[in-house]
């Protein structure tokens, strides 16, 4: 039996024993199927940008061979395995799996699972391999596949690797692949590894074995027939299309993840079951956009792009849909929403509320890009305007110049309404897609003519701009207007906003005793006038039941157009997800009700400062 066959036998034995060992640890029936044994490279291993967020367990190799090896699983799978081990409730396991979060006890629990896996492979090599090799689990880290550079040394260096993998499942639940990755040299398989491929032409200075991928014969012959001086001028010709294809593939993956998150975020904000589907990701031009994609009167919201790239993108929603979403957020009666929709009346509180939805979208967009995109890009919602496609002059620079653009569009379905498509359009150069589409570019869009702060289309000329850049989620930051009213001069007050008047009594008593003047408001009351007249020292948002109405009231506070003071969210039966949402919507702290006199007073003393 040749040496590669021996390694295959040993690793196959280890994978076959995994199911029984992990099942015994978890107390659940886990199965491992579709065993796959291969020689690969780092570039090939991470070549698919659709690979989900991954947990990598670093393992040391000891015995007659020394080095490092690696265990890869989906982040969601690691959360399920760890949560099952420590017997978390099923709903909490599902929540962690959905977000891919692995911290604290959950990470420690998954580390124990990885320990078992290391022990199983160690025992397989003790039983069947002629040399002594041991595997010891060390550290755990989270990987974002779209951010991995195949030529970098992190999370592990380029080179040839032996891959032993299988598909895991618990009952009928698919847990995806488990991948055991070992440098080929540790198994004495370096000479058996396939020749260099794929990544070699990109960095000619790298020797062939540094980045390899099997079954790719064409790139092997290029270094032999063309010395480096000849290869360099040829590289741009080969990369003319390749960078675009790779960049488009990555950006498509990120936007698909973004759109899924947008549905959840906006749905949670509106208190509606909201689904986004029929996603279309295409290259377009201004002329094509306003003749094929945007045909009805729409709200065009400016999304300023900052970070590694700068420019100006846009979010477009048809007027009736913007009225529905804004009206739903501020809980307008259905007949009033329908009346405004039929009249096309998009203004006032409805427009302000829709602006907060755009804020949520820009925050979701930012967070997904920070999580999954290789570069650092943030999106900041600035101005909005109404655009009528039939009145757009293609030759003009309004609302944006002709050029190459990336368009992400998707359908939206709400419980009580069937909405039209939402459109997100960005200059191609923002995502490194410029100069590659068939449509001729007529100039540098957006970034070359970016408006200055305070100008039309530019960021607000207020101190809020840098704060929003530093805190991408945006939902907890008010959308400060470009021109702020003069500072209020009336009596400083504390606001108590509640959906139940009798719930405010203990707060009023304690604040009054402490020398503060209070204003009690319902969730439906207008708040802008108070912000204009008074210096608001703090806000208590008191909910009879923690839920959508309270969060909608928080959004209404943010739309007041002022920098908000500390907001303390009070309510009963807080869950972890509710706390996270409260923080996202501006909570400085959480108070569990019913609260004692001392608990309320502690919040007052900590967060409120009397005006001198």
CB 15 within 8 A of CB 26: no
In 356-417, DSSP assigns E strands to 377-387, 404-413
Distances (CA, A) of 129 to 21, 71, 126, 237, 331: 20, 20, 6, 48, 69
Is position 81 within any domain? yes
Residue reference for tokens 């689904």: 275
Instruction: Identify whether residues 519 and 453 lie together within a single domain.
Output: no
DSSP bridge pairs for 61:
67, 135
- Sign of the dihedral through C-alpha 395, 396, 401, 406: negative
| Weakest mean pLDDT among 94-98, 433-437, 592-596 | 433-437
CB 375 within 8 A of CB 307: yes
How is 225-245 classified by DSSP, letter by letter? HS-HHHHHHHHHHHHTTHHHH
Query: How far apart are the C-alpha atoms of 575 and 573, rounded to whole Å?
Result: 6
- pLDDT for 561 equals 61
Q: Which of 419, 440, 470 is the last residue of a domain?
A: 470
| Weakest mean pLDDT among 121-125, 142-146, 231-235 | 231-235
Three-state SS for 392? coil
Instruction: Identify whether residues 454 and 598 lie together within a single domain.
Output: no
pLDDT digits (tens, 9 = 90+) for 435-489: 543 333 333 333 333 334 333 233 333 333 333 333 333 333 333 333 334 445 5
- pLDDT for 172 equals 81
Query: Is residue 239 over pLDDT 80?
Result: no
Instruction: Identify whether residues 494 and 537 lie together within a single domain.
Output: yes
Instruction: Identify whether residues 416 and 560 lie together within a single domain.
Output: no
- pLDDT for 258 equals 86
Percent pLDDT > 70 in the chain is 81
Instruction: Identify whether residues 139 and 276 lie together within a single domain.
Output: no
pLDDT digits (tens, 9 = 90+) for 352-403: 889 989 988 988 898 888 888 888 899 999 999 999 999 999 999 999 999 8
Instruction: Identify whether residues 108 and 187 lie together within a single domain.
Output: yes
Q: Which residue has the higher pLDDT, 442 or 286?
A: 286
Q: Which residue has the higher pLDDT, 415 or 142?
A: 142
Mean pLDDT score, 264-273: 84
CATH, residue 519: 3.40.50.2300
Q: Which of 193, 211, 234 is the last residue of a domain?
A: 193
Q: Which of 163, 193, 223 is the last residue of a domain?
A: 193
Is position 229 within any domain? no
Mean pLDDT score, 549-553: 82
- pLDDT for 529 equals 81
Is position 224 within any domain? no
Instruction: Identify whether residues 583 and 509 lie together within a single domain.
Output: yes
Q: Is 488 left (phi over 0), alpha (psi -120 to 50) or beta?
A: beta
CATH, residue 326: 3.40.1550.10
Query: How far apart are the C-alpha atoms of 521 and 263, rounded to whole Å?
Result: 31
Is position 231 within any domain? no
Give alpha helix (H) positions in 3-70. 3-26, 42-45
Give alpha helix (H) positions in 142-227. 217-225
Confidence of residue 313 (pLDDT cuts 50, 70, 90): very high
- pLDDT for 562 equals 66
Domain count, the chain: 3
Confidence of residue 193 (pLDDT cuts 50, 70, 90): low
Mean pLDDT score, 531-536: 86
Three-state SS for 296? coil
CB 97 within 8 A of CB 89: no
Which residue pairs from 587-594 have beta carbons closer than 8 angstroms and sit at least 24 positions apart in sequence?
587/476, 587/541, 587/554, 591/540, 593/503, 593/542
pTM attached to this predicted model: 0.50
pLDDT digits (tens, 9 = 90+) for 142-154: 988 888 888 889 9
- pLDDT for 6 equals 92
Is position 363 within any domain? yes
Residue reference for tokens 């501020």: 330
Mean pLDDT score, 75-104: 88
- Strand 311-318 and strand 298-307: the pairing is antiparallel
Instruction: Identify whether residues 425 and 466 lie together within a single domain.
Output: yes
Q: Encoding tokens for residue 108?
A: 């420690």
Instruction: Provide the residue range defining the domain that includes 565.
Output: 490-607
Instruction: Identify whether residues 76 and 186 lie together within a single domain.
Output: yes
Query: How far apart are the C-alpha atoms of 243 and 255, rounded to whole Å?
Result: 18
Is position 478 within any domain? no
Confidence of residue 228 (pLDDT cuts 50, 70, 90): very low
Q: Which residue has the higher pLDDT, 554 or 378?
A: 378
Is position 210 within any domain? no
Instruction: Identify whether residues 506 and 453 lie together within a single domain.
Output: no
pLDDT digits (tens, 9 = 90+) for 494-522: 999 998 888 899 999 999 998 999 999 98
- pLDDT for 224 equals 38
Instruction: Identify whether residues 348 and 430 lie together within a single domain.
Output: yes
In terms of residues, how long is the chain? 612
- pLDDT for 384 equals 92
Confidence of residue 611 (pLDDT cuts 50, 70, 90): very low
- pLDDT for 192 equals 67
Instruction: Identify whether residues 330 and 396 lie together within a single domain.
Output: yes
Mean pLDDT score, 168-174: 88
- pLDDT for 485 equals 41
Is position 80 within any domain? yes
Mean pLDDT score, 163-173: 91
């Amino acid at each position: 039996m040749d040496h590669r066959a021996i390694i295959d036998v040993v690793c196959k034995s280890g994978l076959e024993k995994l199911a029984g060992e992990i099942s015994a640890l978890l107390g659940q029936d886990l199965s491992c199927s579709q065993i796959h044994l291969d020689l690969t490279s780092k570039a090939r291993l991470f070549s698919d940008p659709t690979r989900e967020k991954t947990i990598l367990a670093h393992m040391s190799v000891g015995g007659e061979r020394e080095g490092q090896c690696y265990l890869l699983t989906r982040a969601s799978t690691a959360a399920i395995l760890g949560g099952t081990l420590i017997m978390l409730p099923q709903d909490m396991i599902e929540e962690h799996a959905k977000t891919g979060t692995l911290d604290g006890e959950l990470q420690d629990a998954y580390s124990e699972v990885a320990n078992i896996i290391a022990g199983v492979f160690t025992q397989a090599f003790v039983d069947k391999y002629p040399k002594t090799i041991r595997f010891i689990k060390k550290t755990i880290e989270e990987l974002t596949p779209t951010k991995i550079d195949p030529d970098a040394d992190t999370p592990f260096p380029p080179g040839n690797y032996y891959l032993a993998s299988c598909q895991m499942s618990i009952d009928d639940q698919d847990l995806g692949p488990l991948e055991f990755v070992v440098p080929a040299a540790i198994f004495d398989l370096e000479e058996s590894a396939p020749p260099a491929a794929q990544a070699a032409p990109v960095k000619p200075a790298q020797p062939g074995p540094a980045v390899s991928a099997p079954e790719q014969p064409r790139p092997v012959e290029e270094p032999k027939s063309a010395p480096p001086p000849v290869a360099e001028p040829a590289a741009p010709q080969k990369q003319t299309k390749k960078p675009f294809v790779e960049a488009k593939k990555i950006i498509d993956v990120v936007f698909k993840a973004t759109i899924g998150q947008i549905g959840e975020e906006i749905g949670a904000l509106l208190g509606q079951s909201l689904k986004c589907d029929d996603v279309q990701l295409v290259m377009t031009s201004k002329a094509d956009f306003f003749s094929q994609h945007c045909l009805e009167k729409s709200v065009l919201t400016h999304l300023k792009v900052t970070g590694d790239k700068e420019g100006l993108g846009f979010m477009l929603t048809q007027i009736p849909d913007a009225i529905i979403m804004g009206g739903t957020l501020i809980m307008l009666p259905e007949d009033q929403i329908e009346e405004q929709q039929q009249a096309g009346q998009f203004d006032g509180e409805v427009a302000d509320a829709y602006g907060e939805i755009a804020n949520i979208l820009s925050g979701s967009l930012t967070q997904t890009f920070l999580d999954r995109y290789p570069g650092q890009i943030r999106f900041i919602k600035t101005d909005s305007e109404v655009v009528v496609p039939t009145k757009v002059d293609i030759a003009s620079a309004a609302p944006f110049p002709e050029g190459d653009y990336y368009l992400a569009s998707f359908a939206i379905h709400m419980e009580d309404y069937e909405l039209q498509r939402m459109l997100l359009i960005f200059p191609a150069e923002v995502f490194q897609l410029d100069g590659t589409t068939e449509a001729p570019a007529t100039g540098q869009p957006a970034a070359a003519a970016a408006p200055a702060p305070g100008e039309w289309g530019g960021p607000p000329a207020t101190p809020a701009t840098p704060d929003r850049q530093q805190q991408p989620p945006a939902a907890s930051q008010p959308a400060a207007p470009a021109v702020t009213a003069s500072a209020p001069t009336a009596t400083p007050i504390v606001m108590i906003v509640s959906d139940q008047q009798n719930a405010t009594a203990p707060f009023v008593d304690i604040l009054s005793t402490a020398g503060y003047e209070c204003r009690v408001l319902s969730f439906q009351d207008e708040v802008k006038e108070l912000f204009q007249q008074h210096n608001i020292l703090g806000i208590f948002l008191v909910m009879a039941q923690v839920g959508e109405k309270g969060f909608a009231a928080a959004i209404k506070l943010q739309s007041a157009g002022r920098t908000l003071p500390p907001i303390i969210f009070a309510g009963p039966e807080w869950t972890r997800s509710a706390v996270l949402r409260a923080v996202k919507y501006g909570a400085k702290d959480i108070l569990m009700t019913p609260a004692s006199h001392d608990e309320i007073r502690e919040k007052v003393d900590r967060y409120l400062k009397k005006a001198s």
